[in-house]
Amino acid sequence: MRKDIIAALIVAALACLGALAGARAQEQWPSRPLTMVVPFAAGGPVDLLGRILGQYLSAELKVPVVIENVPGAGGMPGSQRVARANPDGYTFLLGSIGTHALNQTLYRHPLYNAETDFTPVALIAQVPLVLIVRKDFPASDLAEFIAYAKAHQSQLQFGSAGAGTSTHIGCVLLNQVVGVDVVHVPYRGGEGALADVMAGRVDYMCSILSIAAQPIRDKLVKSIALLARERSPTIPNLATADEQGLKGFDAYSWNAVFLPKGAASEIVTRLNAALSKVLDDPAVSAKLADLGLYVVAPTERTPAHLAEFMRSEIAKWAAPIRASGAVGE
């Protein structure tokens, strides 16, 4: 047999072996620890959700899930870390409305394109925002809050988890609707802003319900209105902004899982299935409900649904953000 034919056969055989090895490695995913990047500070609402998901996802996939907190700039640096990661399925992101919708309009030059630089995996949960104020704030309902804010807006400050987060834009829109211009104080996470509201150093905050619920119960802050269209079973006696006169007002956050662009469809499918199974666990549902989170329905957990949902959220929030004049710091 000619040497060139033999060489060609050897190359073909090696290519087949390489393909088989690659397929076998993919079939074995995951075979080592996974890293879940949480692009916000430890102890915040997204971090709490991530640690619950990580615990149960680790049990489901039989490998450790390591939480890596990368806070700052509304979650963009942590999200960018995942966008630039190897798309082998071992690094994924727990993103939010801030990282994958709001910042695409708020920032003139966001660090990534939310629609093209990631592989959508699953929408996880949604959570309403709640307007809270310092304990000695001279208002007990939304009408009183609006009247006081209008009369003293130059003296007030509101805190947020950072520019571009839902807690920032939620209050920007609230201020815009009620007609006040109040100084924004951004923090590197929601827990820092909440701590300063509790200490009376900041006047108010449009907090994610999952971190505000317990301070509200403990009367460390005053709750003024749930910024959603329906009341929450977490604090059922708190009336919504809609009920208190701001018809149709709805400010919220959501969380979803993303892989880097180019992740194999088989890995996306397996991670999606594992996440959905975790969310169907009654113990997980109960833990998230205690935090004020609503687990999305199974039909809303598909990668295709997340891709379309994200596109619609970018478009939905673009107009009000531009109208507000808000710009990411």
Per residue, the 3-state secondary structure of the chain, as one string, reads CCHHHHHHHHHHHHHHHHHHHHHHHHHCCCCCCEEEEECCCCCCHHHHHHHHHHHHHHHHHCCCEEEEECCCHHHHHHHHHHHCCCCCCCEEEEEEHHHHHHHHHHCCCCCCCCCCCEEEEEEEEEEEEEEEECCCCCCCCHHHHHHHHHHHHHHCEEEECCCCCHHHHHHHHHHHHHCCCCEEEECCCHHHHHHHHHCCCCCEEEEEHHHHHHHHHCCCCEEEEECCCCCCCCCCCCCECCCCCCCCCCCEEEEEEEEECCCCHHHHHHHHHHHHHHHCCHHHHHHHHHCCCEECCHHHCCHHHHHHHHHHHHHHHHHHHHHHCCCCC
Among 5-9, 24-28, 201-205, the range scoring the smallest mean pLDDT is: 5-9
pLDDT of residue 101: 96
72-77 mean pLDDT: 89
What's the chain's average pLDDT?
A: 91
pLDDT of 136-166, one tens digit each? 999 999 999 999 999 999 999 999 988 888 9
Q: Lowest mean pLDDT: which of 21-25, 137-141, 180-184, 324-328? A: 21-25
- Does 24 score more than 70 pLDDT? no
Which structural domains are found in the chain, ordered by start? 32-127+253-324 (3.40.190.150), 128-226 (3.40.190.10)
Q: How confident is the model at residue 21 (pLDDT cuts 50, 70, 90)?
A: very low
pLDDT tens per residue across span 299-315:
999 999 999 999 999 99
Please give the pLDDT value at position 4.
Answer: 57
